[in-house]
Every structure is written in C-alpha cells, then in structure tokens.
Structure 1
Amino acid sequence: MIQHPGGFWRRLLGNLLDAIIIGIPIGILGYILTGDTEGNVFTNLLNFLYYLILPVAWLGYTVGKRIVGVRIVKVGGGNVGIGVMFLRTFVSGLVYVVTLGIALIVSAFMVGLREDKRAIHDLIAGTYVTTDRPQP
C-alpha cells in the first residue's frame, strides 16, 4: 500500500541537505579528533549510525528528509525499526560497493522512473519514501 511516494528531486535534495548539515560537521569533527581526512573509520561510523538510528527514533526522518518533507516508512505503512534500517543502510551499501556503484546509478533511475519511486535499498528493506506525515 504505497501512497504518495517521494520523488527523485526531493530525495536528492534531502540527501544533499544531510550531507551539508550533518556530513560536513561530522567530517570536521573526525578530522579534529583523528587528523585523518580519507577513510576515517570514526567519520564513517558516525555517518552510519546517523542513517541507522535517526530514522528509527524520528519516525522515518533524517534532518534533510524532514526539511524537504519526506520520510522512510515500511511498505505496509508502519514506522521503520532498527532491523529494517540496517537492511536499508548496511546491506544495500554492500550491494552498492560490490557492484562498484553501478547499482547506485540503477537506483537513481528506479526512483526517477518507477511509479512507486522505490530504489534498490527500498526493495531490499521493504521500505519506500513518502510525503505523508506520521499519524499520531
């Protein structure tokens, strides 16, 4: 029961806002604490935890998604849990790495062209991105 899926441009803008608002400060903090700018395990771990935990705690939102008015939900309409977000974040990330980024490009086309706007990570985790607000 997929209703009001969030489209490509909203999702892209939400990701860009997350990178600017969250990613850059985490990168700066990681550099200050470790002195390393590339392949920083601390920075990667904080980014992973941000995308894993915040949507669970904040009804499917990240900071960027909240600003653009979209959130992640399960296909049945329920809120995401830690297991779902692990699949969406870690397992799909492995798929993108193993395919050398080709699956990421395919995902972008899927969001742009599919009626339900679901990417590979959405299919793996059983989620979609919607413009619907959470129900009280």
Structure 2
Amino acid sequence: MPQIYLLTILTCLLTGGVFAADMLEQKAPVLAFLKRMQDKGSQTLLGIVVFIFGIVKLFIPSPTETSLILGDLLPALVGIVGGGILTIEALYRDRDIIPPFMASAIAIRKQYASGLGILFILIGLLHLILPGVILL
C-alpha cells in the first residue's frame, strides 16, 4: 500500500523534525512550525499517532518488501521510540513528581534531541530513496 509507505516516511520526517526543532529553526527559519508542534497538545497527539503507527508498521510491509517483520524495522522503531518519548515528555512536562523510567526518557529527549532528530530524518530519507532494502 503506497499510502502507508508515504505515511511511514512522513512520520519519520515529522518526528525527527520535532526532536530537532530548535536546531532546525536556527538553520532554516522556514521550519519554525516544528517548534510550534512542541506544545503539549500537539506533541501528545503526534507522539500517540506515531507510536501506534510504529507498532502497526511492524506487521504491514512496504509494497516492495517481502519480509513481513524485518521489512520496515528502522522506520517502525522510529515510530515506537520517537512516539513513545514524545508522548512521555509531553504528558510529564508539568509534573513535579516523575517516575524514574519517565524521567530517564525525558532526560534522553533533552540530552540527545538534535542527534535523534537528525537520525530519524535520515532514516525517513533513506526509506524514501531505498524502499526495497530490508531493515529500511
């Protein structure tokens, strides 16, 4: 299904863009809309949608794939990890007491946001350029 393939690429790019929004906004002011997607409501919605789509993507291969689970492993992991971190960070942003696991996810987001964002964008672009490669 080409729609799911395109949606996979868009979710990778959008998740990476939200992660690296601060850096991308400095480099290209046109991408300032990514910074606005970091407010609590937008980030929660994006995180939940990307997380669910990442889980679904494990079982729905791209049109050129023959391998069921390994076909889109990296884009699915982007969805699961990126969506999970975005959701956790948005939901626990304003709380005083944060469980240790959630605190570690938020710390990962704060410490490696730009690097993870660029990695997610690269995975999305590689998936666009090389659709038939296993794991991409």
Return the TM-score normalized by structure 2.
Answer: 0.31
Q: Tell me which of the two structures has the higher relative contact order, counting C-alpha pairs closer than 8 angstroms and 6 or more residues apart.
A: 2
Bigger fraction of residues in strand: 1
Bigger fraction of residues in helix: 2
